[in-house]
Amino acid sequence: MPEMGFVQQLGIGALMTIKVAVLSYLLALAIGTAFALVTLRRRLVVGFIWQVYASIFTGVPSLLVAFLFFYAGSGIVASLASLVGLTVTVDISPFAAAVAALGMVYGAYLADLIRSAIQNVPPGQFEAAKVLLVPQPATWLLVILPQVLRLALPGMTNMWIVVMKDTALISLIGLKEIMAYAKLASGVTKEPFIYYVLASVFFLGMTWLTYFVSRRIESWSERGYKPVVKQEPAHAL
Amino acid sequence: MNAVTQIAVPSPVRRETPAAVAISIRKLNKFYGGFQALRDIDLEVGQGEIVILCGPSGSGKSSLIRCINHLEQHNSGTIRVNGTELTHKASDVAQVRRQLGMVFQGFNLFPHMTVLANCTFALRLALRLPAAEANDIAREYLARVNVQDQAAKYPSELSGGQQQRVAIARALCLKPSIMLFDEPTSALDPESVGSVLRIMEDLAATGITMVCVTHEMGFARRVADRCVFMEKGEIVEEGTSDRFFSAPSTARLKAFLQQVL
């Protein structure tokens, strides 16, 4: 039987996992959307910055990025600050390093996803909005975004699951999330199976919850489209 | 060149001088990279006039109509719409577009909005009308194009002809003085074509100015005040629809008419 004290700790860890995953994903969405929008039109400087960013953060494993941020983060911030003439000393917490690493890595993936979704909105939609004199912000928000959402949702759902599962790796930089507590509990009780199974059940539960919610959102985003063949979302990785 | 001299230049083929000029195009050139899509186009459309543009594909008809509402930027020459010169300045573009309604070949309805929402969208966001007033206007125009019963449906639930009529209603909601049609029936099945053309004929009878790119020669003959034949980015021949169809003067138009009629 699992001991209640350890189970309680797993619960605290699970909350931390959710917190890191949600914040990382929001950061990734922000970075992804920003890069998607600025790289829509091919401009030399922006394109170059994006190439460098994408090759670093899709090329280096997310765990390594987290290590770099955690161990070298304060150095990076200090040297960046000294460029503009400031002296800054910051301690990078495992939490901040984890969110920054996952957010920046998956932001690179989301940028490609969101950009291709925008490019797949028929150009006639932009033209119709233009000739109807609809202001640009309203066009993006009310005409383009709903259609982008519909196109990008399946990929975004998968990405969310990947981000959530990747938080398990981040325990290695000392973040007290569910994986760290499962490891601790199995070390103390010498019953690794129970606690790792509990942790697995948590991730499974989160994944199923995601599928349930995403199907709801997807069918909402598909309002107005003829029901095509209903496809189950493909499992992530 | 100033406005007065431009408008005063008489068009040699016009059968009568219209009361006022709605669209005036002078020496218009349009390039896509190295390809010249429009070559020194001169065209005048009087208020209330129905002008049909026809010609083989790639002849520049669509480019011309898209230049008029600045969906394509012209490279040189002038376009005036109800006296406003269309420059590349946002305020000029907005003022010109305010006069124009546009109907596309592919309808371009917003797929995630109901038919009614499609029509009220611009009224509410561009003209900032309250919802109730926008709904009234939209319903009025939807009734005029005979799709009032479909107001709560999504575009994908409608036939092609109904969708195009919704698109016409959506454009009319903004009460434009000039309607531009870019091959409005080319994407439709033969049965739907008739319903859209009937609506356009009704519209033509209201005195609105219309410029229409179409391959429907029967429609052109019935409705047009004037037909313009384009080929390779140039206006080859223009004339009243009677003369255009019964006594074409250029060999190229003769050959074209032989093929399409």
* φ, ψ (nearest 5 deg) of residue B89: -80, 140
**Cross-chain CB nearest to B125 (options A128, A138, A223):** A138
- Is residue B11 in a domain? no
> Which residues neighbour A185 within 8 Å (Cβ) at sequence distance 6 or greater?
A2, A3, A6, A9, A10, A195
**What pLDDT is stored for residue A235 in this prediction?**
59
Closest-CA residue to A217 (of A162, A161, A152, A167): A152
Q: Domain count for chain B, please give it.
A: 1
* φ, ψ (nearest 5 deg) of residue B226: -150, 140
Indicate if the alpha-carbon torsion angle A27, A31, A37, A40 is positive or negative. negative
pLDDT (mean) for B171-198:
93
- Is residue B3 in a domain? no
Confidence of residue B13 (pLDDT cuts 50, 70, 90): very low
Confidence of residue B16 (pLDDT cuts 50, 70, 90): very low
Order of strands across the sheet that contains B84-85? B35-46, B21-32, B76-81, B84-85
Q: Report pLDDT digits (tens) over A142-197.
A: 999 999 999 999 999 999 999 999 999 888 888 888 988 998 888 888 888 888 99
The distance of Cα B197 from the centroid of its chain, to the nearest Å, equals 13
Residue to substitute from B108, B116, B123, B168, interface A, most A β-carbons within 10 A: B108
**What pLDDT is stored for residue B152 in this prediction?**
93
CB count within 10 Å of CB A44 equals 7
Least confident window among B8-12, B227-231, B246-250 = B8-12
CA–CA gap between residue A81 and residue A132 (Å, rounded): 47
> What residues of A are in contact with residue B154 (Cβ under 8 Å)?
223-225
Token pair 């994408």: residue: A54
Confidence of residue B9 (pLDDT cuts 50, 70, 90): very low
Least confident window among A80-94, A129-143, B87-101, B160-174 = A80-94
Chain-chain contact of A132 with B98 (C-beta, under 8 angstroms): no
Above 50 in pLDDT, residue B1? no
> Which residues neighbour B151 within 8 Å (Cβ) at sequence distance 6 or greater?
B114, B115, B116, B138, B139, B142
Can you give the residue ranges of every domain in chain A? 4-221
**What pLDDT is stored for residue B71 in this prediction?**
95
Above 90 in pLDDT, residue A29? yes
Chain-chain contact of A132 with B122 (C-beta, under 8 angstroms): yes
Top-confidence residue, B213 or A228: B213
Nearest CA in chain A to B169: A132
CA–CA gap between residue A199 and residue A178 (Å, rounded): 7
Chain-chain contact of B154 with A138 (C-beta, under 8 angstroms): no
In one-letter notation, the amino acid at residue B169 is A
Chain-chain contact of B114 with A134 (C-beta, under 8 angstroms): no
**What pLDDT is stored for residue A85 in this prediction?**
79
CA–CA gap between residue A146 and residue A76 (Å, rounded): 38
- Tell me which CATH code domain A4-221 carries: 1.10.3720.10
**What pLDDT is stored for residue A23 in this prediction?**
96
Token output for A203: 């991730």
* Interface membership of B95 toward A (CB under 8 Å): no
Above 70 in pLDDT, residue B18? no
Q: What average pLDDT does chain A have?
A: 89
Token output for A235: 């499992």
A–B CB contacts, 8 A cutoff, strictly below = 68
**What pLDDT is stored for residue B260 in this prediction?**
81
CA–CA gap between residue B162 and residue B207 (Å, rounded): 23
Share of chain A above pLDDT 70, in %: 94
* Interface membership of A115 toward B (CB under 8 Å): no
pLDDT (mean) for B145-162:
92
Above 80 in pLDDT, residue B14? no
B51 within 8 A of B214, measured Cβ to Cβ = no
B151 within 8 A of B114, measured Cβ to Cβ = yes
CA–CA gap between residue A127 and residue B126 (Å, rounded): 15
Q: What average pLDDT does chain B have?
A: 89
B79 within 8 A of B23, measured Cβ to Cβ = yes
Nearest CA-CA distance, residue B222 and chain A, Å = 28
Token output for B184: 């409005």
Chain-chain contact of A142 with B100 (C-beta, under 8 angstroms): no
The distance of Cα A214 from the centroid of its chain, to the nearest Å, equals 15
DSSP letter for B70, please. Answer: T
> What residues of A are in contact with residue B104 (Cβ under 8 Å)?
124, 127-128
Chain-chain contact of B108 with A124 (C-beta, under 8 angstroms): yes
* Interface membership of A4 toward B (CB under 8 Å): no
Q: Report pLDDT digits (tens) over B125-137.
A: 999 999 999 999 9
Top mean-pLDDT range of A170-184, B5-19, B201-215? B201-215
- Global pTM? 0.83
**Cross-chain CB nearest to A146 (options B112, B126, B171):** B112
CA–CA gap between residue B244 and residue B242 (Å, rounded): 6
Nearest CA-CA distance, residue A218 and chain B, Å = 13
A36 within 8 A of A115, measured Cβ to Cβ = yes
- Is residue B10 in a domain? no
Nearest CA-CA distance, residue A132 and chain B, Å = 6
Range of the domain at B147: 18-260
Give CA separation, A117 vs A52, A53, A122, B46, B179, in Å: 22, 20, 10, 43, 32
B53 within 8 A of B61, measured Cβ to Cβ = yes
Nearest CA in chain A to B124: A134
CA–CA gap between residue A203 and residue A212 (Å, rounded): 14
Confidence of residue A6 (pLDDT cuts 50, 70, 90): confident
**What pLDDT is stored for residue A191 in this prediction?**
85
> What residues of B are in contact with residue A228 (Cβ under 8 Å)?
none
Q: Report pLDDT digits (tens) over B72-87.
A: 999 999 999 998 999 9
**What pLDDT is stored for residue A77 in this prediction?**
82
Which CATH number does the domain housing residue B249 bear? Answer: 3.40.50.300
Q: Report pLDDT digits (tens) over A36-49.
A: 999 988 788 989 99
Nearest CA in chain B to A138: B125
- Is residue B153 in a domain? yes
> Which residues neighbour A67 within 8 Å (Cβ) at sequence distance 6 or greater?
A172, A173
* Interface membership of A141 toward B (CB under 8 Å): no
Closest-CA residue to A206 (of A194, A214, A195): A214
Task: Say what the ipTM of the complex is.
Answer: 0.87
**What pLDDT is stored for residue B148 in this prediction?**
92
**What pLDDT is stored for residue B261 in this prediction?**
75
* Interface membership of B113 toward A (CB under 8 Å): yes
**What pLDDT is stored for residue A145 in this prediction?**
93
**What pLDDT is stored for residue A214 in this prediction?**
92
CA–CA gap between residue B227 and residue B236 (Å, rounded): 11
Closest-CA residue to B116 (of B152, B65, B80): B152
pLDDT (mean) for B158-173:
94
